[in-house]
Amino acid sequence: MPQIFPGIALASPHVKWMMWEIKESTSFFQNIPEKWKKTLPPENAHAQKLLESLAARYCLWQLVKDVQTEPLELVKTASQRPYLKDSNYHISISHSFPFVSACISLHRPIGIDLERKDRKIQHIAPRFLSAKELDWAREDTQKLIAAWTVKEALYKAHQQAGLDFKNEISFDFEYPVRQGHVFREENTSYEVRQEEFPNFIVSLVLRN
């Protein structure tokens, strides 16, 4: 079982997360509720996209089973954000093949994002980083990946479509990142748990 265990312990017993390196075929991850499969990409989508989406839901299902005895229905918003219907649990998933992740929180909005360290994002960095953030990263690929995952996780946790990554989502200038902020009508702060693995970086955020 290629589950990847984080080195960072979460302080709250009401928060759980899971990461996985995909080495199995699609059939391995089929053991999720049938209704959940309705939230997968269409059958004509790329096979890799289908596999990683299914694997992320498999991880989420393991977490849900650990905190809830009755099945919960997974659905999507109009903006394609997955959530658990008629439930107080907050969830988030992410995938960057062959790695996937999922998290669940009872009390606090949560977001997770992981990205492979070999992704080339220097050319798009000016689109999602402010001038000060670009200066902080200084063309350091690992810092750029870290910044990307933090902003993606913050976007997911804030659950408000249309946020401007460059001007409305920010983070404190330290590495690993420990605090993030969303500026939309008011300043909402988030705790950041960030960890670097040999092949990817993952960021998990929780609203303060």
Per-residue pLDDT tens over the stretch 110-162? 999 999 999 999 999 999 999 999 999 987 999 999 999 999 999 999 999 89
Per-residue pLDDT tens over the stretch 52-84? 999 999 999 999 999 888 889 999 998 899 999
Q: What is the pTM of this model?
A: 0.94
Distance CA 178, CA 171 (A): 8
Residue after which a domain boundary falls, among 113, 145, 176 = 113
How big is the chain, counted in residues?
A: 208
Nearest to 12 by CA among 104, 146, 88: 104
Whether 120 and 106 map to the same domain: the answer is: no
Indicate which CATH number applies to the domain containing 75: 3.90.470.20
Residue 11: its pLDDT value, please?
Answer: 58
CA distances from 128 to 27, 32, 83, 192, 200 (A): 37, 35, 25, 18, 19
Nearest to 161 by CA among 184, 192, 179, 177: 184
Residue with tokens 């993952």: 202
Per-residue pLDDT tens over the stretch 6-48? 877 665 778 999 999 999 999 999 999 999 999 999 988 899 9
Whether 99 and 14 map to the same domain: the answer is: yes
By residue range, what is the domain housing residue 9? 3-113
Whether 77 and 105 map to the same domain: the answer is: yes
Residue 139: its pLDDT value, please?
Answer: 79
Residue 131: its pLDDT value, please?
Answer: 96
Say whether 203 sits in a helix, a strand or coil.
Answer: strand
Residue after which a domain boundary falls, among 113, 138, 158 = 113
Whether 126 and 179 map to the same domain: the answer is: yes
Confidence of residue 101 (pLDDT cuts 50, 70, 90): very high
Distance CA 92, CA 82 (A): 7
Whether 121 and 47 map to the same domain: the answer is: no
Residue 171's contacts (CB-CB under 8 Å, 6 or more residues apart) are 133, 147, 150, 151, 154, 177, 179, 180, 181, 192
Q: How many CB atoms lie within 10 A of CB 119?
A: 14
Whether 63 and 91 map to the same domain: the answer is: yes
Reduce the secondary structure of 55-85 to three states and give it as a string. HHHHHHHHHHHHHCCCCCCEEECCCCCEEEC
Tally of structural domains, the chain = 2
Residue after which a domain boundary falls, among 113, 129, 153 = 113
Q: Which two tokens stand for residue 65?
A: 């089973």
Residue 182: its pLDDT value, please?
Answer: 98
Whether 95 and 139 map to the same domain: the answer is: no
Distance CA 148, CA 125 (A): 8
